[in-house]
Homo-oligomer: A and B are copies of this chain.
């Protein structure tokens, strides 16, 4: 049993994946996570890991904007900085169940992260 708050769990998750520690991040994610991501839903930890693990290596930095927490729900707003952009924000709305992230709504503008010239 964990005694960490949902906000702490999400903060550790965020810190891990944005440092390319994908194993550390996935330790905080439920096996049956459902994630609504731009372009389609991700069902289960394997699909989610593939998505996050594919994006994390492109990060060159992270700019945090805001965090909100209420009960088992946590929201993050931040700038995932890449070679293409450092001003395109992302938002994530997490639900934490039994100490793990069980649902995520992940929002960002795919066009803002497209290679220059494809926008």
Q: Residues of A with Cβ closer than 8 Å to B?
A: 36, 38-39, 65-66, 68-70, 73, 75, 77, 87-91, 93, 105, 107-112, 119
A68 near B68 with CB under 8 A, answer yes
- Give the shortest distance, in Å, between A91 (CB) and chain B (any CB): 4
A87 near B36 with CB under 8 A, answer yes
CA distance A88 to B66 in the complex (A): 22
A112 near B66 with CB under 8 A, answer no
6 more contacts with CB within 8 A, not counting A68-B75, A89-B107, A109-B111, are A36-B87, A68-B69, A77-B107, A91-B107, A107-B107, A110-B111
Could you list some 20 contacts between A and B, CB below 8 A? A36-B87, A36-B89, A38-B88, A38-B109, A38-B112, A39-B111, A39-B119, A66-B73, A66-B93, A68-B73, A75-B75, A77-B107, A89-B93, A89-B107, A91-B91, A91-B93, A109-B111, A110-B110, A110-B111, A111-B111
B68 near A38 with CB under 8 A, answer no
CA distance A88 to B73 in the complex (A): 20
Complex: chain B residue closest to A77, CB-CB: B93
Residues of B within 8 A of A88 (CB): 38
